[in-house]
Structure 1
C-alpha cells in the first residue's frame, strides 16, 4: 500500500506519500480500505516530534478515517467485509489501508458522505468523553468552548446543544463567531477584542469549560468557573506550564481534569472501546438523524497532506480538514 511516512521531524516537507508494507488485522481487528482521513492537531505535533504514537500504534499519522472493511481478524463477529465504517485510531490513518480494533469502529449512517464521516470519530470521541463522561454536562448548564471554530469546537457546540446546555464560545473573528451561532452557540466572545472571563462572569460563570489552550488560559479559566464548575483541558496550544491559583479553585469548589483520547487503553475502564460504545449509543443516533453534522472546511488529496497541516492555522479554516485517498 501507499502511506504518509515521516522522513524525520520538522515541517510539512518531512511527509512523503510512499509505498510501504500492508498492515494485517490481528485478533479482534479489521482491515479498512481508507476513503478519507481526518486531520488533527495531534498529527502536526507528531510530525514535529512532540507527540509520539503509543508503543503498539502505527507510526503513520492519522487518528481517524473512513472507508470499507476488506478483511476480518480472528474473533470479529459484529462486522462484515463490505461494511462502510469510520474509525478511531491510535495512528495509521494517512494510508490506503489501516488495521483497527473492531471495538473502535462506527457505522457510517445512510446518506452521510464517507469523506465527511472521516472527520467525525476523533472529535466525537473527544467531545463526548470530556463533556459528558468526564464533566457531566447537564441540560441548562453553561458550557464555555474555547476554539469554537475548530473541528472539536464545531462538534462540541452541536453536541452540547443537543444535551440542552447553553453554549458560549471563543473565536478569533466575528465571521467565525457568526458561524458558531448558526451551529447553536448563544454567547459569542471574540478573544482578540473581549475578555472571556468578564463575559462569562456576567452569566454567573461557566459550569463546564472545554479548553484546548492549556497553560495560557489555565488561571483565567479557573476564574471563569461557576461554583462547582468543571474545567477540562484537552490541549496545550497555549503552552504546557502555567500557574494555578488553588485558592480560587478551592473557593469555587472547582474541579480540574486533563485528558486525551490517543493514549487510552484499547479495552477496560476509560478505554477507547468504552468511549466509542458510548458515542455509538448516545451520539450516533443524532448523527444519523442529521442533528449533529460534520463541519468540513476543506477536502484535499492525501498527497497534499502538508498543505492540510498548514490550513489548520489558517484564519479561514472553520471546522475539519480531511484528506481523500484514491481507491487502489
Structure 2
C-alpha cells in the first residue's frame, strides 16, 4: 500500500510538471507570435485582415523594433490595389515606415542599443507589432518627439526635403506650386518652404481643408478650380517649382506653368486611384493625358522635368547614406522647432480599413497613423478586421459598413 501511495504521488508530481511545461510552452509560443495587418491579395478593403504571424528575428546588420506607431501613405493604397510596378507576392504585411523601441540587434549591428527610441524605413512589413530592418534605415529620435510624430516623419519630410533642396534647389525668393497641400507631404513641403525667406507657395486642396492650413500656404486654391488661371492671375510668369503627386493632365499643366530654369517634379500618380480596386480605365486615362515630353522643347524653354521615388532610392538604388544625411538635417530643424509633423488621426490596427478609406476620400489633414497599442472602438472590434489566427475570414460585402459611424482619435 505504501508503494502504491508513492507511485500515485510520483504520478501526480509528473502530471503537475507536465502541465507546467505545457503552460511554459504556451507562454513561449505566445511570445513568438505578433499581430500584424495582412494583405491577403490585391484588391479592395476586404483583402485586409489583422492576424497573428511569426515573430521576426534580426539577421546580420538588422535592428529589431517593438513598433509603437506606423505611417499610412497613399502608396499603401496603390500597393493594396496592386497598382504599382512589379507588385510583390501576397500575402504580405504592408507599410514602409514605423517608430518604436529597439528590442534586439543582429550580428555586427552597430550604433544602437536595446531600449533606443527610433523611427525606421521598412521594405514592407511595417504594419505589425515587431519589425526587423537593416540598421542603415533606422534613426534615433529625440525624447521630445512622440512615437506618432516619428511615424509621420520619414516618408513625408525626407520626400519634401529632397525634392525641394536636392532636386529643385529651392532658394530665397522662389515660388512653388504644390498639389494636395493638406496631405502629409504637402504640409511637410509648406513647413520646409517657410525655413527659406520670401518663398511663395501656391497650394491646391479641398475647400474644407483651407481654414486648417491657411497659415502654411501663401495662396490656397480649390482643388476643383482652374488652378492654372489662378496661378497666372497672381504670378503671370508662373512658378519656379511644381511638385506633382497627381499625374495625368496635370503634367502638361505643370510644365506650362514653369518659369525659365524652373523644375517640374513628379512624385506620385494618385489620379490613377479612383475606386476601391484597381481601374484599368483610370490607369489608361491618366497615362493618355500625360503630356509626351519633347527634350528639344525643354531645351528651347529652359525647363527641367524630374521624378522622385524615395522608396526606390532607398531599396533599389542603395542611397541609404544620402537619406541618412537628410534625416540628420531634418532632425536639427525639428529640434529648432522649425518643423513638426502634422498628425491627422490615430487608428488601431483593427481600424486599418477605415483609415485607408479616409486617405482614399482625401479627408485627412496631415498624416494618418496606426497606433499599435490603441484599442479599437467597440464598433471596429466587431467588424471584419478583427484579429484572426489564419486571416481567412469571410469577405465582407461592399456597403455593409456604410451606415456605421467611425470615431477615430483625431488629433
TM-score, normalised to structure 1's length?
0.91
**Partner residue, 1:252:** 301
Distance 1:186 1:4, change over 3 A: same
How much does 1:53 deviate? 7.6
Q: Residue 176 of structure 2: SS of its match in structure 1? A: strand
**Partner residue, 2:324:** 276
**Partner residue, 2:387:** none
Q: Which structure has the greater CA radius of gyration?
A: 2
Distance 1:135 1:197, change over 3 A: farther
How much does 1:6 deviate? 1.1
- Please give the per-residue CA displacement for 1:111-164, whole angstroms capped at 9, x wherever unaligned: 222122211111112112211111211222111111101111011100121133
What pairs up with 1:286-325 in 2 under 5 angstroms?
A: 286-325=333-372
- Distance, in Å, in 2 between the alignment partners of 1:92 and 1:74 is 21
**Partner residue, 1:11:** 44
- Larger helix share, 1 or 2: 2
- Distance, in Å, in 1 between the alignment partners of 2:88 and 2:113 is 28
- Distance, in Å, in 1 between the alignment partners of 2:231 and 2:134 is 44
- Please give the per-residue CA displacement for 1:153-181, whole angstroms capped at 9, x wherever unaligned: 011100121133322211121x4233322
- Larger strand share, 1 or 2: 1
Q: How many residues align?
A: 323
- Distance, in Å, in 2 between the alignment partners of 1:123 and 1:208 is 18
**Partner residue, 1:26:** 59
**Partner residue, 1:202:** 234
Q: 2:193 aligns with which of 152, 160, 173?
A: 160
Distance 1:33 1:17, change over 3 A: same
Cα pair 2:96 2:121 within 8 Å, conserved = yes
- Distance, in Å, in 1 between the alignment partners of 2:194 and 2:248 is 27
Runs of 4+ aligned residues of structure 1 deviating over 4 Å after TM superposition are 52-56, 265-269
**Unaligned regions of 5+ residues in structure 2, if any?**
1-33, 272-285, 375-411
**Unaligned regions of 5+ residues in structure 1, if any?**
none
Cα pair 1:85 1:107 within 8 Å, conserved = yes
How much does 1:251 deviate? 3.7
- Distance, in Å, in 1 between the alignment partners of 2:317 and 2:269 is 27
- Distance, in Å, in 2 between the alignment partners of 1:276 and 1:216 is 34
Cα pair 1:206 1:224 within 8 Å, conserved = yes
Instruction: Tell me if 1:135 matches 2:168.
Output: yes
More divergent stretch after superposition (76-85 vs 236-245): 236-245
**Partner residue, 1:108:** 141
**Partner residue, 2:220:** 188
